[in-house]
């Protein structure tokens, strides 16, 4: 062979050896399991408080639950191996999936019917009846007949539950709450169902239990008011136990603790289904207290089995609030798995107490006393501040901070209580000898932002390094939130309700919550934060706090990663982070504002797993539909999903 031939042969051998070496490296490192390409992938990697979204790329590779790489279609498809599933997005928009920092799937599964009926489609285990979408008086008129039918069908000892209906737009909420409080008593339920345990819900988290249900609850919690004793940090009280026994108000734990006593696998399946329902709408992470040790056990069971369809960041709620216990809990802050970890602690809920006076005669017109601020009620007011000096909740807040734990997950209301809340942070930090930088590093937070921060508080919130979880829902409701604030204090103070623009401009990370069993309205609630228009009142509340869509999107994605203390793993679409993303049927960045509520989530991946895949896209890409959109169980009459 001549010299030229040897050179050609040598070059060919080098190419083959190089190809073999690259192939060995790829085989050793592992090919991506999934590639999405030819899309508009919005990474949200911009770290400013402006309306910039950061890099927008065409393609993304996923391996072992995390993002392997992002880039052009050609760059990413070159990484594919023989088993890589490649999905042509055909120009569709991809966003990081949404994380809600104050959300209660542990409550919603016992209110909305879809997840519950998916797991328990008949009456074999629990008899459940959801009332139709009718005016409250008509619903109440039907109650006896509904219960009579259920009792006739029930087996001895079988649980019965009835859930009233607030309507798809919560149009019955105020009237139903009022009628429920006046009409539904334990004595009345004892007459209707003397032999079967039964609970009746007001359409939300409020419920009344009959005597048989109370007795089952007592076998789990001899202190019937353990919820107050533990979560609120009170001392056991025979008087409180007697009041609970008479009223039948067992609060949130009655469902997981009593109704599902000894049925932890069923509870786990229910929570899994509820999270799948939210994933169908693009929501893949939740922050909340578990409100029951059994809820936390159920999440842990799912996690151990590898069946968590979303991420749950839990807050410690007691029952022990001594300094030594809190120091132990502080040692576990941020610890857990990729799907379940500890994010903070809180005890009592903040109240609606404000620094401004109510309008004369308002309280007499409403016939109400002070309400706590849980759920962003608004309309609480009054002088009874939960976190005022000398209160149990104030003392616990200070101990939480002193222990090195983080205050997060707490329901709050009015601005005056937020003053006291920040006082407690500073007092606890002083006892512990913490520096300002150490205080800021904790990212203490308050949730709802239903009457705070007022403008003068914002610099202090910023100085303490705090975060604020905000609830756009109360810009839409009329039985609480901005609508009530306008009537109670004056429309000029509605800019204190969810002041997202002000806190963003101050450089304070803020996040989002729905705090209602309404996941299908997530894009609608984004627009409520943008325009702050209340459809029923036909009024814009706090127009100076309107924002653009990107600010709302950062609250749902990037900033929520910081709230959950996992900004290195979630909130943006960058290599090394969780492969949690959604594929939309239209471009969120450019679609007219009026059409944002109509956006459909076609696909949701969580940790690289296909948790939701709609039928149309599944057919297009040759895969099987997945998730809640495939459920076939009938939905009770009057419980439609009205998205806008």
Give the range among 241-255, 360-374, 504-518, 566-580 with minimum mean pLDDT: 360-374
Is 205 contained in some domain?
Answer: yes
Tens digits of per-residue pLDDT, 509-566?
A: 999 999 999 999 999 999 999 999 999 999 999 999 999 999 999 999 999 999 999 9
Domain co-membership, 91 together with 155: no
pLDDT band at 15, cuts 50/70/90? Answer: very low
First to last CA, the chain: 78
Domain boundary among the residues 519, 545, 571 is at 545
For residue 431, the model assigns a pLDDT of 98
Q: Which two tokens stand for residue 501?
A: 């623009």
Residue 571, Cβ density class (10 Å: 0-12 exposed, 13-18 middle, ≥19 buried) = buried
If asked whether residues 524 and 403 sit together in one domain, one would say yes
Is residue 304 situated within a structural domain?
A: no
Asked if 34 and 61 touch (Cβ cutoff 8 Å), the reply is: yes
Tell me whether residue 576 is in a domain: no
Residue 524 and residue 605 in one domain: no
* Residue range of the domain that includes 9: 1-30
| pLDDT mean over 23-43 | 79
Residue 114 lies in a domain: no
Q: What is the pLDDT of residues 299-336, one digit of tens each?
A: 999 999 999 999 999 999 999 999 999 999 999 999 99
Cα–Cα distance, 164 to 172 (Å, whole number): 10
Q: What number is the average pLDDT over the span 560-587?
A: 98
Distance CA(174)–CA(181), nearest Å, equals 11
Average pLDDT over residues 127-136: 98
In a domain, 504, yes or no: yes
Q: Same structural domain for residues 451 and 536?
A: yes
> Sheet containing 445-448: which strands, arranged edge to edge?
445-448, 467-471, 510-513
* Lookup: tokens for 194: 């003397």
- As a whole number, mean pLDDT of residues 610-628 equals 98
Residue 172's pLDDT is what?
Answer: 97
Higher-confidence position of 46 and 361: 46
Same domain, 214 and 196: yes
Residue 370, pLDDT > 50, answer no
The residue count of the chain comes to 644
> Are 502 and 597 contained in the same domain?
no
**Residue 62 and residue 22 share a domain:** no
Alpha-carbon gap, residue 270 to 249, rounded angstroms: 23
The answer on pLDDT for 378 being more than 60 is no
Please state the rounded mean pLDDT for residues 466-481. 97
Q: Identify whether residues 521 and 424 lie together within a single domain.
A: yes
User: What pLDDT, on a 0 to 100 scale, did the predictor assign at position 380?
Assistant: 55
Six token digits for residue 182: 């006046």
pLDDT in the model for residue 379: 45
pTM of the model: 0.94
Distance CA 248, CA 181 (A): 12
Tokens 């960041």, located at residue: 313
Same domain, 461 and 425: yes
pLDDT level of residue 384 (50, 70, 90 thresholds): confident
Tell me, yes or no, whether 467 and 496 share the same domain: yes
The alpha carbon of 440 is separated from its chain's Cα centroid by a whole number of angstroms, namely: 24
Question: Is 537 a member of any domain?
Answer: yes
568 is a domain residue:
no
**Least confident window among 1-15, 323-337, 462-476, 502-516:** 1-15
Please give the full DSSP string across 196-265, using - where no structure is assigned: S-EEEE-SSS-EEE-HHHHHHHHHH-SSTTHHHHHHT-PPP-HHHHHHHHHH----TTIIIIIITTT-HH
| Rounded distance between C-alpha atoms, residue 275 and residue 312, angstroms | 9
The DSSP bridge partners found for residue 451 are: 414
- From CA 47, how far away is CA 595, in angstroms rounded? 27
Q: Supply the CATH number for residue 352's domain.
A: 3.20.20.140
- Report whether pLDDT(448) > 80: yes
Give the pLDDT of residue 24. Answer: 37
Task: Average the pLDDT over 476-488 and give the result.
Answer: 96
Q: How many domains does the chain have?
A: 4
Burial class (CB in 10 A: 0-12, 13-18, 19+), 55: middle
- Quick check: is 475 in a domain? yes
Rounded average pLDDT over 114-142: 98
Residue 49 scores a pLDDT above 80: yes
Percent of the chain at pLDDT above 90? Answer: 89
DSSP SS3 for 71: strand
Choose one of 493, 518, 545: the last residue of a domain: 545
pLDDT at 228: 82
Q: What is the CATH number of the domain that holds 622?
A: 2.30.40.10
Give the relative orientation of helices 415-432 and 392-402 as an angle to the nearest 10 degrees. 40
Nearest to 446, CA basis, from 358, 373, 353? 373
């Amino acid at each position: 062979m001549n010299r030229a031939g040897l050179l050609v042969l040598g070059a060919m051998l080098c190419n083959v050896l190089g190809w073999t070496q690259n192939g060995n490296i790829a085989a050793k490192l592992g090919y991506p399991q999934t590639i999405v390409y030819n899309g508009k992938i919005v990474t949200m990697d911009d770290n400013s408080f402006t309306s910039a979204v950061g890099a927008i790329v065409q393609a993304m590779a996923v391996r072992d639950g995390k993002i392997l790489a992002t880039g052009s279609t050609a760059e990413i498809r070159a990484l594919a191996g023989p088993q890589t599933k490649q999905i042509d997005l055909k120009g569709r928009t991809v966003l990081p999936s949404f994380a809600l920092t104050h959300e209660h799937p542990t409550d919603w599964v016992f209110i909305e019917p879809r997840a519950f009926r998916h797991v328990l489609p008949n009456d074999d285990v629990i008899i459940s009846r959801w009332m139709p979408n009718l005016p409250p008086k008509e619903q109440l008129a039907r109650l006896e007949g509904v219960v009579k039918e259920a009792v006739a069908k029930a087996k001895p000892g079988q649980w019965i539950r009835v859930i009233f209906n607030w309507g798809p737009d919560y149009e019955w909420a105020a009237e139903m709450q009022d009628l429920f409080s006046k009409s539904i008593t334990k004595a009345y339920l004892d007459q209707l169902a003397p032999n079967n345990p039964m609970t009746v819900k007001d359409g939300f988290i409020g419920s009344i239990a009959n005597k048989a249900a109370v007795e089952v609850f007592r076998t789990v919690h001899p202190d019937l008011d353990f919820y107050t004793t533990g979560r609120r940090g009170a001392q056991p009280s025979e008087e409180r136990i007697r009041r609970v026994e008479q009223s039948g108000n067992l609060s949130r734990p009655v469902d997981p603790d009593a109704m599902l006593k000894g049925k932890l696998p069923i509870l786990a399946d229910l929570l899994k289904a509820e999270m799948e329902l939210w994933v169908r709408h693009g929501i893949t992470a939740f922050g909340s207290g578990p409100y029951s040790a059994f809820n936390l056990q159920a999440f842990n069971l799912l996690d151990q089995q590898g069946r968590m369809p979303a991420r749950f960041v839990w807050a410690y709620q007691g029952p022990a609030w001594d300094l030594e216990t809190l120091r132990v809990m502080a040692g576990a802050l941020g610890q857990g798995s990729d799907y379940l970890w500890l994010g903070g602690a809180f005890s009592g809920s903040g109240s609606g107490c404000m620094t401004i006076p109510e309008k004369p005669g308002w309280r007499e017109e409403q016939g109400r006393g002070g309400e706590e601020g849980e759920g962003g009620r608004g309309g609480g007011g009054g002088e009874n501040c939960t976190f005022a000096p000398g209160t149990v909740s104030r003392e616990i807040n200070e101990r939480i901070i002193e222990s090195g734990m983080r205050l997060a997950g707490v329901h709050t209301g009015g601005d005056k209580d937020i003053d006291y809340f920040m006082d407690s942070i500073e007092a606890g930090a002083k006892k512990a000898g913490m520096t300002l930088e150490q205080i800021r590093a904790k990212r203490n937070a308050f949730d709802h932002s239903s009457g705070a921060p007022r403008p003068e508080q914002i610099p202090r919130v910023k100085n303490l390094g705090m975060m604020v979880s905000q609830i756009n829902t109360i810009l839409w409701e009329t039985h609480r939130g901005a609508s009530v604030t306008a009537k109670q204090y004056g429309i000029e103070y509605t800019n204190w309700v969810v002041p997202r623009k002000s806190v963003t401009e101050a450089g304070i990370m803020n996040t989002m919550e729905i705090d209602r069993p309404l996941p299908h309205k997530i894009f609608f609630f984004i627009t409520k934060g943008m325009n702050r228009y209340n459809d029923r009142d036909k009024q814009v509340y706090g127009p100076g706090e309107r924002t653009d869509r990107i600010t709302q999107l950062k609250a749902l994605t990037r900033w929520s990663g910081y709230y959950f203390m996992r900004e290195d793993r979630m909130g943006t679409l960058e290599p090394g982070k969780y492969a949690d993303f959604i594929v939309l049927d239209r471009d969120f960045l450019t679609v007219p504002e009026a059409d944002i509520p109509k956006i459909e989530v076609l696909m949701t991946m969580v940790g690289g797993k296909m948790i939701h895949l709609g039928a149309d896209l599944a057919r297009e890409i040759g895969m099987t539909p997945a998730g809640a959109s495939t459920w076939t169980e009938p939905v009770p009459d009057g419980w439609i999903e009205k998205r806008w």
